[in-house]
Amino acid sequence: MNTKNLDLSKSKILVNSENLLSDVNLLAVQLKNKFQDELLYSLVLKGGKTLFNLISNTLGNNLIEIPINLSKIESSYDFDSDCFSNEKINNKNVLLIDGIIISGMTHLNLMKKIVKHNPKSISLVSLAKKKGHANFEKMSLYTIYTFNKEFVAGCGIGEPPFSDSHSLYDLS
């Protein structure tokens, strides 16, 4: 789908920016309550940078981004887990942060590679998930919205102008 030719005013808003920002803040508070004052080490996937920035407003210095560029990988199969030293994630709380979970296979494959480095916990944090995603029994799932929609964009998901908006849109 070519989103560059679509008009924001003609697309259906699924979640407006005010509600979205409030819901993201609630998610961040939930993470803060769960992990208390523990440090959270995050791997930010391509669509998760905006979500990372928003939740870091609440978590502050407790949220640390592991300096690796996962946005350049085409899939989790391209990801070289040897770039982690055991010191980076051994016995640490790791968050995989992404904008949307479609099938969940990339996240599961990353989790399998990360678990080899003995993290204390692995959690998947996402703005939205599509119904029918994979089963995440070995990692905690923190997500706000579930959609049946095929094309959801906004808040870092999709291409501009939709990705630059803090609303979520149905582009289908």
Q: What is the pLDDT of residues 5-61, one digit of tens each?
A: 566 677 889 999 999 999 999 999 999 999 998 999 998 888 899 999 999 999 999
Mean pLDDT for all residues in the chain: 83
Is 99 in contact with 128 (CB distance < 8 Å)? yes
C-alpha to C-alpha distance for 145 and 167, rounded to whole angstroms: 12
C-alpha to C-alpha distance for 33 and 39, rounded to whole angstroms: 12
pLDDT at 68 over 80: no
C-alpha to C-alpha distance for 70 and 9, rounded to whole angstroms: 32
pLDDT at 163 over 90: no
Q: What is the pLDDT of residues 72-109, one digit of tens each?
A: 445 555 555 555 555 678 899 999 999 988 888 888 88
DSSP, collapsed to helix, strand or coil, labels residue 9 as: helix
The residues facing 82 across adjacent strands are none
- The pLDDT score that the predictor gives to residue 115 is 87
pLDDT at 3 over 80: no
Query: Residue 41 CB: number of other CB atoms within 10 A?
Result: 16
- Domain parsing of the chain, residue ranges: 19-68+85-147
pLDDT at 133 over 60: yes
Count the residues in the chain. 172
**Residue 34: how many CA atoms within 13 Å on its side-chain side?**
16
Question: Which one has a higher pLDDT value, 169 or 70?
Answer: 169
H-helix segments, the chain:
17-35, 49-59, 86-89, 105-114
Q: 19-68+85-147 adopts what CATH topology?
A: Rossmann fold (3.40.50)
pTM of the shown model: 0.85
State the Cα angle at 97 between 110 and 71, rounded to 5°: 70
Phi and psi dihedrals of 60, rounded to 5? 55, -130
- The pLDDT score that the predictor gives to residue 143 is 92
- The pLDDT score that the predictor gives to residue 52 is 94
Q: What is the pLDDT of residues 100-116, one digit of tens each?
A: 888 888 888 888 888 88
